[in-house]
Amino acid sequence: MHQHSSVFFFVFAVAAGLMLVGAQARVVDAQADSQVQALYDLYQSTGGPNWINNTGWASQNDDPCGRKAGNRPWYGVTCAGGYVIKLKLDRNGLGGVLPASISNVPYIEGLHFRGNMLIGGIPRSLGDIQSLRTLDLAYNHLGGGIPPLGTNSTSLAYLYLGNNQLGGTIPASFQYLTGLAELDLASNRLTGPVPDWLASLSLTSLWVAYNSLSGQFPLKVCQSLILCSAAFNSRLMCPSMSCTCGAMQSCNCNNMCQTSNDCTGLCTRCVGASPIMNGYCQ
């Protein structure tokens, strides 16, 4: 009797294991189908036939990673383990609107669409990509407000949205992006203050020049940065501080004091003091 029970449990365990493997395989297949469909959507929504380079995309061969014999990865696609982890389509003639389904690429870490002709708003669904580390949408024609990208995409470290037509204020959801190292919001239509909670992030570089920001630039934010560009915000005031060249280098506020702000005299005395200051203190 004991022997029969052992055989039964062995058969049951094998069957359960096979069912689990089958379920996992179905999940993998579903994710693969999801990422391919998301790439198809991107191609169609952004004028793929008119891209500068659409190698692989035009064939829509359901193999963006080039894993099958005779196939090569689609242009701009980087993969790992059969999954797309980066899309680099900078300056490639993309136009139209980014589809919300772009978030269905399950393990994407980098979306690079700089220097294209994208219009419309930034899809809110981008905030749902937990694996995303780099989002570069700079130098497009995107408008509307900035969606709450910090809701789920807490891995985001590099966010470049400069040189668009984005309005509203700096989103409060950004305070959850604790690993954010570089933030580019320059040359948009942003209003309101520079939030002091930016100092609690991991920011080393901040670009907010050429907006309509107002109020006092928080000193503790300034002190946490290596590079900061906040010029040409007519109602934004620099922190109250002395401008000895040593203080400027330690506080790293040198390049926010340009001719359009209310503290032009602070920087002119430091021009040429260091390579860092040469490009920004004028």
Residues 97-120: tens digit of each pLDDT: 999 999 999 999 999 999 999 999
Helix (H), strand (E) at residue 136: strand 134-136
Model-wide pTM > 0.85 = no
Reading phi first (left if > 0) and then psi (alpha if -120 to 50, else beta), residue 138 is in beta
**How far is 257 from 54, CA to CA, in rounded Å?**
43
For residue 133, the model assigns a pLDDT of 97
How open is the CA angle 128-91-87, to the nearest 5 degrees? Answer: 35
Least confident of 19-28, 61-70, 165-174, 245-254: 245-254
- pLDDT at residue 248 tops 70: no
Q: For residue 232, what pLDDT band results from cuts at 50, 70 and 90? A: confident
- pLDDT at residue 59 tops 80: yes
Helix (H), strand (E) at residue 264: helix 264-268
Residues 192-223: tens digit of each pLDDT: 999 999 999 999 999 998 999 999 888 888 77
For residue 275, the model assigns a pLDDT of 34
Q: For residue 9, what pLDDT band results from cuts at 50, 70 and 90? A: low
**How far is 150 from 153, CA to CA, in rounded Å?**
5
Helix or strand or coil: residue 88? strand
Domains for the chain: give ranges and CATH numbers. 2-278 (3.80.10.10)
What does the DSSP assignment read for 210-261? SSEEEEEPPHHHHHT-SEEE--S-TEEEPPS----HHHHHHHT-GGG--TTS
- Which amino acid is located at 163 in the chain? N
**How far is 121 from 231, CA to CA, in rounded Å?**
26
Residue 24 sits at φ, ψ, to 5 deg, of -65, -40
